[in-house]
Chain A
Amino acid sequence: DAGVTQSPTHLIKTRGQQVTLRCSPKSGHDTVSWYQQALGQGPQFIFQYYEEEERQRGNFPDRFSGHQFPNYSSELNVNALLLGDSALYLCASSLQLEALNNEQFFGPGTRLTVL
């Protein structure tokens, strides 16, 4: 049973560039959430996708956008990168029908460094 996978593992970009991070949910899951984890901090919720639509968004600017595909995989896009966007980006998947269980399964993350 494949867990949550993310690619790439590491990424280095320069200020002003754009980046796309990818996530494949755990087999059978239909909901994907993205989190930003700055060094030494807890993860911060960016947004969640279900049925290819953004359902809820955290306190992040419009430079952060996402997409969910029919196979439930998801992308996180960040435009006009800032130094402060350097962080570990975590993807978490869950199953909408088991919402009462509320468990999200996390991927290993993508480490983004902005120079």
Chain B
Amino acid sequence: AQTVTQSQPEMSVQEAETVTLSCTYDTSESDYYLFWYKQPPSRQMILVIRQEAYKQQNATENRFSVNFQKAAKSFSLKISDSQLGDAAMYFCAWTSGTYKYIFGTGTRLKVLA
């Protein structure tokens, strides 16, 4: 069965600094997708960034980038120039098709002014 593990329950970062959130996963499938979602106190899950497993190039979206290591089954999220609005729960998710996402337990990110 597929699993997603986020080993950091909580992380803190100073405003304008860089922080990296970790995610590892386990799957026997070769083609899949990985996502990072942000869930602020408003509860709405917002897609931050996505990565297709067949693409070797790491995805980047403005201040957000990933380090995707397929062989190691690792998918970390780097947030550069952290802003107060980045404070939220961050979930790593895996999917291989049109059906379910498998989510990690989340990392609470605190941004310190």
Residue of A nearest to B1 (CB): A59
Q: Which residues of A contact B106 (CB under 8 A)?
A: 40-42
> In the complex, how many angstroms separate the beta carbon of A78 from the nearest chain B beta carbon?
18
- Given A42-B91, A43-B91, A102-B33, the answer on whether A88 and B43 have CB atoms closer than 8 Å is yes
Given contacts A42-B91, A42-B105, A56 and B45 within 8 Å (CB-CB): no
**Chain A CB within 8 A of B85 CB:** no
- The 7 A-B pairs with the shortest beta carbon distances in the complex, nearest first, are A42-B103, A45-B100, A106-B45, A99-B98, A56-B99, A102-B33, A108-B44
> Interface residues, chain B, CB within 8 Å of chain A?
4, 6, 33, 35, 37, 42-47, 50, 91, 93, 95, 97-106
6 contacts between A and B (CB under 8 A): A43-B103, A45-B102, A56-B100, A88-B43, A102-B98, A106-B45
